[in-house]
Homo-oligomer: A and B are copies of this chain.
Amino acid sequence: MAKWKNLDTLDTYKALMESDHRVDLREVLAGDASGERVKKYCVPMACGLTFNYASRQVDEEVLGMLTALAEESDLEGKFRELYNGAMINTGEKRLVLHHLTRGQLGDDVIADGTDKRAFYTGVQAKVADFAAKVHAGEICNADGEKFTTVVQIGIGGSDLGPRAMYIALENWARANDKLLMEAKFISNVDPDDAVSVLKSIDVAHSLFILVSKSGTTLETLTNEAFVKNALEASGLDPSKHMVAVTSETSPLAKSSDYLAAFFMDDYIGGRYSSTSAVGGVVLSLALGSDVFDAFLAGAAEADKLAAQADPMSNAAMLDALIGVYERNVLGYECTAVLPYAQALARFPAHLQQADMESNGKSVNRFGEPVDYKTGPVLFGEPGTNGQHSFYQLLHQGKSIVPLQFIAFRENQTGTDVDIQGSTSQKKLEANVAAQIVAFACGKSDENLNKYFEGNRPSSIIVGDKLTPEVLGALLAHYENKIMFQGFLWNLNSFDQEGVQLGKVLAKKVLAHETDGALAEYSKLLDI
């Protein structure tokens, strides 16, 4: 059994905190005439991806201490317990099984009398069958016409991940004749969100997916009502245009309001549900179940690598360790994810949720306060766009933000133009290479306005092309990184009690059961 201890009780952490050894990137990189460091500080990842950390503030000494920390913290053992079905989500007393949606890493996991791997693959088979029937026109609208559009209604974990994944693959699918249905997403309780999406589609040829584990999420039920109104206003029967993704015990599970219901369970949190039916139904309908299977295969390959004990060959673990070093030893408050791929436009928003909701905690897994910093603020936008925006602060601001670049050697569509001797894709890649070195090495200048201090850390994940497999591997890398950081900080990364208070107070406002400041804010808003 793994020992769950606070980070600051570990000897290897104390050693890290006591060490005043620091790596100056200006010295180690600018002095690296042969490029040895860049070659050496590389870890192979799944699906041909590479994690390069040559521009993070580590060296053999720091890496040695981080490896010792991984061992003392027993990161490998904790992950093993997790995928073998231990109750890792202590707050809600639940297993944590999202890895099981994409492969069997360890023992069979039996819960509630069910083999959970069989449960997830069973749902996947049911989804694949349903999607094939929709694509074949066997499941169709009242006029016998094929559905052309799929609309996911969900919020938070039922929205950000699946949406980011769809956006990531839309152009790839179009270029490879794999875009079977266009996907849209309705999430916000702001009525203008649903109105806007409904205006942009042909409801008669649209299939809606209602995603809510409990079947009681306020935003989602409200948006369902919008959609039903729109369908009825077009003389259509909503129950012939909607499916549900929900738990077996939810009010939606056996309702005749839906063409079909696909089940999820309590062992997969919303922010980890892209590889479950929450992502599976919309991605299988939009892109085909073969594409969804490839996405799962990429994630499974990454999970396997993450199960290794040695961080020097386990990119997710190493990335996690360096992140904790940056947060707790070097004291950086934020981190940015900067994909040089327009297809990953919403990937940082998904990771913002996955990371900040998992590790934005102040108590450990036993509910005791911790005395060290935990999850950082995470933000990001695609490059090169960001270069013309917030990079100014990253280069010359008073705060240091560790950066996580992502880049590919080829673009998704295969279409490009050659201008001034290079393609757009090469220009994109040249920019990310340039940024890493600019951040790390800086530039001296007598005019301090043009002076770049440097020593600003970054790493990069590089792949050949953003395919479904690669996207799965990328997603799993970050999910596993977040998990390892939660282990290091001794947090329960799988609950989210911090979202509850607002819900309770919002109900009070709507019931007009307020006084004092809350009553006055309600008046200000004319509620």
Q: Are B334 and A377 in contact (CB under 8 A)?
A: yes
In chain A, positions 491-520 with a C-beta closer than 8 Å to chain B are 492, 495-510, 515-520
Does residue A106 face the partner (Cβ distance < 8 Å to B)? no
25 CB < 8 A contacts A-B: A29-B516, A30-B516, A35-B523, A156-B388, A159-B385, A190-B341, A190-B343, A190-B384, A191-B411, A191-B415, A221-B419, A222-B424, A229-B417, A334-B377, A356-B389, A367-B449, A368-B448, A377-B379, A393-B498, A394-B498, A395-B502, A407-B525, A433-B521, A437-B517, A438-B501
Nearest first, the 5 A-B pairs at minimum CB distance are A360-B393, A156-B388, A35-B520, A434-B505, A38-B520
Q: Are A382 and B188 in contact (CB under 8 A)?
A: yes
Residues in B neighbouring A343, C-beta threshold 8 A: 190, 192
Closest beta carbon of chain B to A438's beta carbon, Å: 4
Task: Give the interface segment out of A126-134, A260-268, A295-303, A439-447.
Answer: A439-447
Contact of A527 among B39, B433, B505 (CB under 8 A): B433
Q: Are A389 and B156 in contact (CB under 8 A)?
A: yes
A360 to B374: give the CA distance in the assembly, Å: 25
Q: Are A341 and B437 in contact (CB under 8 A)?
A: no
A450 to B428: give the CA distance in the assembly, Å: 46
Instruction: Given A32-B517, A360-B390, A527-B433, decide whether A385 and B502 contact each other with a Cβ distance below 8 A.
Output: no
| Shortest Cβ distance from A489 into B: residue | B398
Q: Are A193 and B342 in contact (CB under 8 A)?
A: yes
| Shortest Cβ distance from A156 into B: residue | B388
Q: Are B452 and A396 in contact (CB under 8 A)?
A: no
Contact of A385 among B188, B222, B442 (CB under 8 A): B188
| Shortest Cβ distance from A368 into B: residue | B448
A460 to B521: give the CA distance in the assembly, Å: 10
Q: Are B425 and A517 in contact (CB under 8 A)?
A: no
Closest beta carbon of chain B to A512's beta carbon, Å: 10
Chain A interface size, under 10 / 10 to 19 / 20 to 34 / 35 or more: 35 or more
| Shortest Cβ distance from A407 into B: residue | B525
Q: Are B501 and A452 in contact (CB under 8 A)?
A: yes
Contact of A437 among B195, B352, B498, B518 (CB under 8 A): B518
Instruction: Given A433-B527, A517-B437, A519-B35, decide whether A189 and B424 contact each other with a Cβ distance below 8 A.
Output: yes
Closest beta carbon of chain B to A278's beta carbon, Å: 13
Residues in B neighbouring A3, C-beta threshold 8 A: none
Residues in B neighbouring A389, C-beta threshold 8 A: 156, 160, 271, 349, 352-353, 356-357
Contact pattern, A 149-172, Cβ under 8 Å of B = 1, otherwise 0: 000000111011000000000110
In chain A, positions 68-93 with a C-beta closer than 8 Å to chain B are 91
Contact pattern, A 196-234, Cβ under 8 Å of B = 1, otherwise 0: 100100000000000000000011011101100100000
Instruction: Given A419-B222, A517-B35, decide whether A333 and B509 contact each other with a Cβ distance below 8 A.
Output: no
Residues in B neighbouring A358, C-beta threshold 8 A: 392
Q: Are A431 and B502 in contact (CB under 8 A)?
A: yes
Residues in B neighbouring A399, C-beta threshold 8 A: 333, 373, 376-377
Contact pattern, A 111-132, Cβ under 8 Å of B = 1, otherwise 0: 0000000000000000000000
Closest beta carbon of chain B to A501's beta carbon, Å: 4
Does residue A416 face the partner (Cβ distance < 8 Å to B)? yes
